[in-house]
Amino acid sequence: MSMGFTRRHFLSRLAAGGAGLTAAPAWATAPLESIRPKSRPADLLEPPKGADLVKRAGIEGHVAFVVADAMTGELLDSLDAAEAVPPASVGKTLTALYALRSLGADHRFTTQLLATGPIRNGRLEGDLVLVGGGDPTLDTDGLADLAAAAKETGLVEVTGRFLVYGGALPSAVQIDPEQPPHVGYNPAVSGIALNFNRVHFEWRRESGDYTITMDARSGRYRPDVTMATMRVEDRSLPVYTYDDVDGVDRWSVAKGALGTGGARWLPVRKPEAYAGEVMQVLLRAHGIVAKAPTVTQSLPQGTVFAQKQSGPLREIILDMLKYSTNLTAEMIGLAASKARYGEVASMRDSAEKMSDWAKQTLGLRHVAMEDHSGLGDDSRVTAADMVLVMVQARQQDALRPLLKHIPVKDGRGRPDPKAAMTVVAKTGTLNFVSGLSGFAEVEGRLLAFAIFCADIAHRDRLTMAERERPAGGRAWLARARQLQQDLLQFWGRTYSGQG
């Protein structure tokens, strides 16, 4: 249903979208240029519409799209532009813009080691505290660098406790409770994250039995962990089970699903315990003796004597949009809300604040995010609002350089090296949901677009066991992606070099 969405309404919203800017870093507060449509001659026939391609695609569910001139805001083609649909990971583009404007492109996250007492003759007379600073990119190598920095101070022994603090951001045991328990893209959220809050599970069959490792591997290190365990059970289904037993992530796996060997990343549900255990091992490897870690809910007073900084936010967002890392989106979204509004109660509270910011600052009308990654079923946005995000971001070139190149394909589904169009965009995929939004440039004209396909009724019927590989899911996704390609190429032929 179109909900009365008209060309005039869309253009007036684009023209008014720059009103109401809130406080932000200096680069983000430059006045937005006025976006005005170019008038069409009265006798100019309307070009053909992409809706005909949608009819031929035969996609079960709903399709909505908008394409506009990214420089002027002129609406060129649309279908059900104001229908609210799940954005999936396309929602990360809104989170990226929100974080850039709230924190600044050069913002860095800092993980610290804090001492509550003096260090005398190599002995810390007090507690050692590992303090998470909201860095979504921290890995085991980064913790090793932090241990090396501690060693350089002359520290060899901690007489007090070894505490781990992750309260810089609100916590959650998982991003979306409606996902299968074992998928690595749905880990816990906290102010400290190690290896994207995932633990590496590897198995190898030897003499009829399995050798299993659970470790926190990265580029230079692969320390084993005990806070997550795996048990092989003689069953066929379910493939994985999870339980929280005495503060340990206890997993089991069906023996019939393992084969001769393999590996996968499993989500971590206790980020502080995970980071603390790995940090203790790395401290010991650098000659520093510390007790087993204890999670603390309050940050003690003390002196920072070693720290590890992340790369700049711009680089973090570049990787987030390329690899679509859900945890990164949640952590930078939470950090942005905290910077903009102060304390934030929860991930959902932060996502609602981001949605309100988008309405007040960007002029969006139908955005309602339940998280910052698009993983949750209940997030909604319209194609019109997503294109408005792109047009607004284009004025300061905030998103386009960070988006992933999307190959334009030939008739056999292979990247076409002769294609005259270049496309950068963010993809979004859930079961029976597919989205694509970004920019297409053809013959000097820049288009902003959003395409959403969603069979929500089919998705809602899936059981938890069916959600990882639902029957018919791949075929449906292939049709949706082919429609996206068809629409882009159609728009390229229809609107190239105009205006």
Over the stretch 395-444, which tens digit does the pLDDT of each residue have? 888 899 999 999 988 767 777 777 788 999 999 999 999 999 999 999 88
pLDDT at site 190: 98
Range name among 29-43, 93-107, 294-308, 378-392 with the lowest pLDDT average: 29-43
- 102 has pLDDT over 50: yes
Between these two residues, 472 and 292, which has the higher pLDDT value?
A: 292
- The predicted pLDDT at position 47 comes to 56
Contacts of 385 (CB under 8 A, 6+ apart): 358, 364, 365, 366, 367
The answer to whether 134 touches 109, Cβ cutoff 8 Å, is yes
The H or E element that residue 9 is part of is helix 7-16
Do residues 92 and 324 touch, judged by C-beta distance below 8 A? yes
Query: How high does pLDDT run on average in the chain?
Result: 89
pLDDT digits (tens, 9 = 90+) for 19-53: 322 233 222 332 233 333 344 444 445 556 888 89
For residue 233 the two structure tokens come to 């059970």
pLDDT at 148: 98
Cα 55 to Cα 58, 63, 77, 84: the distances in Å are 6, 10, 15, 20
Q: Is the predicted pLDDT of residue 388 greater than 90, yes or no?
A: yes
pLDDT of 335: 98
For residue 179, how far is the Cα from the chain centroid?
15
pLDDT band at 8 (very low <50, low <70, confident <90, very high): very low
Give the global pTM: 0.90
**DSSP strand E in 137-235: where?**
157-158, 162-165, 198-206, 209-215, 228-233
Residue 415 bridge partners (DSSP): 409
Tell whether the torsion through CA atoms of 355, 429, 461 and 182 is positive or negative: negative
- pLDDT of 4 > 80? The answer is no
**How is residue 350 written in tokens?**
């932060």
At 57, give phi and psi (nearest 5°).
Answer: -70, -30
The pLDDT of residue 497 is 65
Report the C-alpha gap between 349 and 407 in whole angstroms: 37
Domains in the chain: ranges and CATH:
7-104+347-495 (3.40.710.10), 108-311 (3.50.80.20)
